[in-house]
Structure 1
Amino acid sequence: MPTYKQHRAAAIASGLILAVSLTGMVACSKSTTDKVEDATANVAADASSAVSSIGADMDANKTQDFVTKAAVANMFEIKTSELAVKTSKNADVLTFAKMMVKDHTAAGKAYETAVAATSGLTPPVALDEDHQKKLDDLATKTGTDFDKAYIDIQQSAHSEAVNLFEDYSKNGKDTALQAFAAKTLPTLQAHKDKIDAFKE
């Protein structure tokens, strides 16, 4: 029959075994928690990186879109106005068209400087299909029909240009192009005001 000392020794041994088991469970639990926390942190980091990458891509797309549209708009203003200088007999239209050629040629140089300050941009070198068609259609007209068509084209084009430049001057992410948009916007608005006066 076990003595008191033997009972006591067995109890102590059982206690030690239980303590070791609990320590192991705590250690295991802590290890599992650490792994879950690490995995969660990695997922959060990956998600943050993905969001940042998407945001950067959207900014780049917006900038390229502005670069493309601004170049086409400027070329279109110059080409249609050069045509007006050759074709129109209306003194007011001629004055406006000459101003357009002068101002948009200057704007084109400022545009080139701004684009050159940012890498990775691809400015267009010719009109897109839609604007080329409008230019070709305008070239078929003469007299008052030409003047009316030219004024209509300029009014529409300047409404679009003012909206484009105003948006990028406020929301654009490229510093050089944003400054260019802000500096050019008042000139575009002045052109729009003048062409709107023809319709009054």
Structure 2
Amino acid sequence: MKKFLIIGFIILGLISLQSFKPHQHDNFINKAIASNRFEIAISEQAMNKSQNKGVQDFSKMLVDDHHKLQSQLDAYATANNLTVENDMSREQQQLLTETANLNGAAYDERFKSEIIASHENIITLFESAIKSNMAKDDTKNTWLNQTISSLKNHLELAKSLNVTDKVDTPISDTISNKHVDDMPKKMKLK
């Protein structure tokens, strides 16, 4: 009888461990997608609201890069049969509403602050995925590292963004050639 209980607990433990991995991936992918969608939305908003050339150029670059990342995240979720939530968090939606009510330098400063915070959060999320060994092969780890590199490039550009002048140095003068396009197109967990 004691052997059966021990074997039963071992089997339940193995089942629990196996069920943790999909949840871990669902959690990662949903947070990554929500953060990415927020960065697209706030950048599209900045393209329309800001009068600052640097903010406009930077926002355009973010929209382009994050749409590419969104396609890769969607493909990752589909390839791994992950459940994806299509909405940003309430907090992100509230931030978009708050920034929409700002104008001029106040808007640009808030945009810069929010895009920095968002990039710091999504970088932490991707670094956690690597540390947790979520991606079991080199291709996925390479993709995660390349994505982190691109996101860190965005973060540095955001930190250096001059939001005090209406006419700013175009961000294209400082953009690195490391973009999201270099990442593998399909990733499937084994």
TM (norm. structure 2) is: 0.77
Aligned-partner SS, 2:85: coil
Q: Which residue of 2 aligns with 1:102?
A: 64
CA distance in 2, matches of 1:88, 1:181: 32
1:188 aligns with 2:156: no
The Cα offsets for residues 138-187 of structure 1, whole Å up to 9 and x where unpaired, read as 10011000000000000110110000011113324355894443332111
Length, aligned pairs only? 160
**CA-to-aligned-CA distance 1:58-117 (integer Å, 9 cap, x gap):** 222221111110110010000000010001111211121111001000001111111111
Out of 127, 131, 141, the position equivalent to 1:166 is 127
- Whether the aligned pair in 2 keeps the contact of 1:78 and 1:105 (CA below 8 Å) is yes
* Structure with greater helix share of residues: 1
1:5-24 paired onto structure 2 within 5 Å: none
TM superposition shift of 1:127: 1.6
The answer (yes or no) to whether the contact 2:127–2:148 under 8 Å persists in 1 is yes
Question: Which residue number corresponds to residue 170 of structure 2?
Answer: none
Structure 2 residue runs without a partner (length 5+): 163-190
Percent of matched pairs sharing the same residue: 22
Q: Which residue of 1 aligns with 2:184?
A: none
Per-residue CA shift, 1:29-63, capped at 9, x if unaligned? xxxxxxxxxx3332221111121122223222221
What is residue 166 of structure 2 aligned with on the other side?
none
Q: Distance in 2 between matches of 1:86 and 1:73?
A: 20
1:151 is the counterpart of 2:112: yes
Q: Does the Cα contact within 8 Å between 2:39 and 2:66 map onto a contact in 1? A: yes
TM-score (norm 1): 0.74
Structure 1: tracts of 5 or more residues without a match: 1-38
Matched, 1:123 2:84: yes
Q: Distance in 1 between matches of 2:49 and 2:136?
A: 40
Distance 1:178 1:51 in 2: 27
Distance, in Å, in 2 between the alignment partners of 1:78 and 1:160 is: 15
Look up the equivalent residue of 1:184 and give its one-letter code.
Answer: T
Q: Which is greater in Rg? A: 1
How many angstroms apart in 2 are the aligned matches of 1:178 and 1:132?
30
Is the 2:129–2:135 Cα contact (8 Å) retained in structure 1?
no
**Mapped partners of 1:173, 1:151: distance in 2:** 31
Conservation of the 8 A alpha-carbon contact between 2:99 and 2:110: yes
Contact 2:116 2:155 in 1 (8 A): yes
Amino acid at match of 1:60: P
| Superposed structure 1 runs of 4+ greater than 4 Å apart | 174-180
User: Is residue 57 from structure 1 mapped to residue 34 from structure 2 by the alignment?
Assistant: no
C-alpha contact 2:130 2:144 (8 A) present in aligned 1? yes
Q: Are the equivalent residues in 2 in contact too, given 1:154–1:195 (CA < 8 A)?
A: yes
- Most deviating of 187-196 and 139-148: 187-196
Q: Distance in 2 between matches of 1:107 and 1:190?
A: 14
Counterpart in 2 of 1:42?
4
